[in-house]
Amino acid sequence: MSGWVAVAGLGPGDEGMITVEVREALAQATDVVGYIHYVIRVAPREGLTLHPSNNRVELDRAMHALTMAAAGKRVVVVSSGDPGVFAMASALFEAVEGFSGVVPDIRILPGITAMLAAAAHVGAPLGHDFCAINLSDNMKPWKLVEKRLRLAAEADFAMAFYNPRSASRPHQFARALEVLLQVCGSERLITFARAVTTSEEQIVTVTLGEATPEMADMQTVVIVGNSATRRVGKWVYTPRRAG
């Protein structure tokens, strides 16, 4: 049987949010590759080899998957959320550019990303134009992060932020909040959704004037509304019309 690679999204945390397509790929797989915290979500079984690795070896992980698939293995590369949103799909195609063997069949299997799960639990804060920004500077300089953040705020997008605040760079999210306050004002709604869809889920919506850097960590997705975003009862939503 010819080998293949499927890059699969495991969703935000709730096992019920893993798609049927992804479950079928995992059932057919001979090997699962991914960041250790995602690989442990895959149940061991006979005939399946798990290959966990740390979070800083994306290209090595992708090349390993391609090599095994080229040798006839059926490989699933797992990501949380959706594999095309700050995850392994892009890394796999980057590895393809440098792969010297015959490129195996590749499939990208979408999943529910954390920002959409968080938005659904809040209401509809991304109901109009929005953007997603990774606030980590591991893959790009902070100067670029801040530029994109400011321009998105000036364009009045609703915004979803991934990886907002880590122990090694707590000051950067504080700076992000400063920029948002400057551009959007203190009354703009901001939602902090931590460990969304899991038993540890915590969701709180406040104004930018009430927000503090400590309200976010690396398990938090942050959603900032646009100028029209409002509350209705316990919900937060952004109207579909602008003008």
Nearest to 31 by CA among 72, 64, 76, 79: 76
Distance between CA atoms of residues 230 and 124, nearest Å: 10
Is pLDDT larger for residue 161 or for residue 168? 161
* Residues 227-236 pLDDT 10s: 999 999 999 9
Residue 1 is predicted with a pLDDT of: 55
For 57, the token pair is 């070896």
pTM for the whole thing?
0.93
What angle in degrees, to the nearest 10, is found between the helix axes of 170-184 and 142-154? 20
Mean pLDDT to the nearest integer, 62-66:
97
Nearest to 117 by CA among 17, 217, 46, 190: 17
Distance between CA atoms of residues 162 and 186, nearest Å: 22
Q: What's the farthest any 2 CA atoms get from each other in the chain? A: 60
Q: Which domains does the chain have, with CATH numbers?
A: 4-112 (3.40.1010.10), 115-237 (3.30.950.10)
Contact 128, 158 (CB under 8 A): yes
* Residues 81-130 pLDDT 10s: 999 999 999 999 999 999 998 999 999 999 999 999 999 999 999 999 99
Q: Tokens 């001979």 correspond to what residue? A: 30
Contact 128, 227 (CB under 8 A): no
Pairing label, strands 49-53, 74-79: unpaired
Q: Tokens 């504080």 correspond to what residue? A: 174
Distance between CA atoms of residues 42 and 36, nearest Å: 10
- HSE (side-chain half, CA atoms, 13 Å) at 148: 17
* Residues 12-21 pLDDT 10s: 999 999 999 9
Residue 188 is predicted with a pLDDT of: 98
Q: Tokens 């975003």 correspond to what residue? A: 229
